[in-house]
Structure 1
Amino acid sequence: MLAASMALLLALGCYWLFLKGKLADRLGVHQRGRRASYLFWVAKSAALFVAPTLLILACLGALGSLIVMPRAFADAALQLGVTPGGAMQDTGFLFAVVGGLAGGALLGAIVARMQRKRGRRPWMIGDLRSILPATRAELPYAAGIAVAAGISEELFFRLLLPLLIGVLSGSALFGFAVSALLFAGAHRYQGWKGMAGSGALAVIFTVFYWMTASLWMTMALHMLVDLNGLVLRPLVLGLRASGDSRS
């Protein structure tokens, strides 16, 4: 219990540091342009989410949870009537999820483009202007953020925090609930709508994790959601071919 307590304190400390914006300001990251900001975000998520997760899991002898869903998580899923890994036996379900996500993303992007042509501001959940690419040259950097977020945030919020909180509280469900709230808080820069949307996504990712019993597939789903918002949608709305990315 002591080891788990120390590990949770370390994890929460990393979460607090992630929310702080002073380091980027002190290093002059934002003054170097949006591309530098993108690269800094990726490095920060790797240092504060990925590295601590792997270190803590290694110290606790739980690296196997990267591949095999922890027993406590499976029990939590069963408590809510979800069969852990059941979706992996149903390829139709997986195709439906990917197809529905792709179709919905494309439809949403087209509707947003029509709104812009009519002089209306495209609808989106939360304020993403600080991370949306402004030019085509920034698209690879935005895609990098989407991939990095899918990996780092699932490791931290869908595995490490629920595992540690579950061990200390005796309830993995409680661990997932607290982690979902912290996940929403990590997106506070998007405003209250963005936080609400992120909280809803946390629930969706959690249920998908339970249904597939695969953290890696949940990472892939997270990546697709973020690629839609940071790459597909801006691309359909129209981006400048080039320009000063420092603005």
Structure 2
Amino acid sequence: MTRSPVLDWLLLFAALGCYWLFLKGRLADRFGVSARGRRALYRFWVVKSAVLFIAPALVILAILGRGEALFAMPDIFAVAAGTLGLVPGGLARDTAFLLTVAGGLFGGALLGALMAQWRRRRGRAPWMMGNLRAVLPGKRGDLPAAAAVALAAGVSEELFFRLLLPLLIALVSGSALLGFVLSALLFVLAHRYQGAIGMIGSTALALVFTGFYWMTGSLWMTMLLHAAVDLNGLVIRPFVLGIRA
């Protein structure tokens, strides 16, 4: 059965509509969530990411008959990666590469936490990649909910920005590279609340996550990488810096 181009466009508009709703910063206020504290807000963010990113992505992939894309990189993505000289999936079984990535994450997290602690001891504010006051936990009791946000972001944002949107844009435009570029821009705009420095950092992360996905061919491994980065920022660093009880 030939797929209708009109359907592809409709599904793309539906996905963009979900993205627009996700950006509505006053949703939590309308439901009175933000007034109930940081943990309630964290739970709201987890539900919002599930409703507006995960659920639509799974439904749209099912409509397209592309459910296998959850476990195997779509051919159109592999072709795009190949044009850049990459071998999609070639590093998924490279133990040395994976250990290097894991070691780099651990070492970077440890170094960043130690530097932040060093600055604090000297009366300086810990350096952050943008304005993160709106998302950081305020006390130790917030950390489990913050960890849930980090895990939800890793799963939902990779599913939405590294798979669904690039695939839909590729289907309507014929270019997976264009799909990844536009998706990365939307990913950066979703982090505009972090200010200019935060958006620069989000741009770098979008490039890292996209490159990692292309090289490993594994969406799930990319989700783990994304979640690890967010866990460092939302849980590990606040804990090391001595967040109040």
Category of TM-score, reference length = shorter chain:
over 0.9
Task: List structure 1 segments (4+ residues) > 4 angstroms apart after TM superposition.
Answer: none
CA deviation vs aligned residue, 1:178-234 (integer Å, no higher than 9, x gap): 000000001111111111111110111011001110000000000000000001111
Secondary structure, aligned partner of 1:120: coil
User: What residue is the counterpart of 1:245 in the other structure?
Assistant: none
Amino acid at match of 1:57: L
Secondary structure of 1:15's aligned partner: helix
Q: Give RMSD over aligned pairs.
A: 0.7
Deviation at 1:26, TM superposition (A): 1.2
Q: Structure 2 CA distance, aligned partners of 1:185 and 1:52?
A: 20
Q: Residue 225 of structure 2 aligns to which amino acid in structure 1?
A: L
Pair 1:132 & 2:112 matched: no
- Tell me, yes or no, if structure 1 residue 171 matches structure 2 residue 156: no
1:1-247 alignment, distance < 5 Å: 1-241=5-245
Stretches of structure 2 that go unaligned for 5 or more consecutive residues are none
Identity %: 65
Q: State how far apart, in whole Å, the 2-side matches of 1:8 and 1:39 are.
A: 28
- Count of aligned residue pairs for this structure pair: 241
- TM-score normalized by the length of structure 2: 0.97
Q: Point out the more displaced range, 39-48 or 16-25.
A: 16-25
Q: Which runs of 5+ in 1 are unaligned?
A: 242-247
What is the DSSP-based 3-state SS (H/G/I as helix, E as strand, rest coil) of the residue aligned with 1:86?
coil
TM-score between the two structures when normalised by the length of structure 1: 0.96
Q: CA deviation at 1:47?
A: 0.5
Q: Which amino acid aligns with 2:169?
A: I
Equivalent position amino acid for 1:109 in 2: A
Q: Distance in 2 between matches of 1:91 and 1:169?
A: 36
Amino acid at match of 2:130: G
Partners of 1:225 and 1:43 lie apart in 2 by 20
Separation of aligned partners in 1, 2:34 and 2:177: 39
User: Deviation digits for residues 147-183 of structure 1, max 9, x if unmatched?
Assistant: 0000000000000000000111111001000000000
Q: State the Cα distance separating 1:22 from its structure 2 match.
A: 2.3
What do residues 53-79 of structure 1 show as CA deviations (whole Å, max 9, x unaligned)?
001000110111000100010011101
Amino acid at match of 1:45: S
> Cα deviations across residues 77-115 of structure 1 (Å, max 9, x unaligned)?
101111101112321011001101110111111000110
Distance 1:19 1:144 in 2: 19
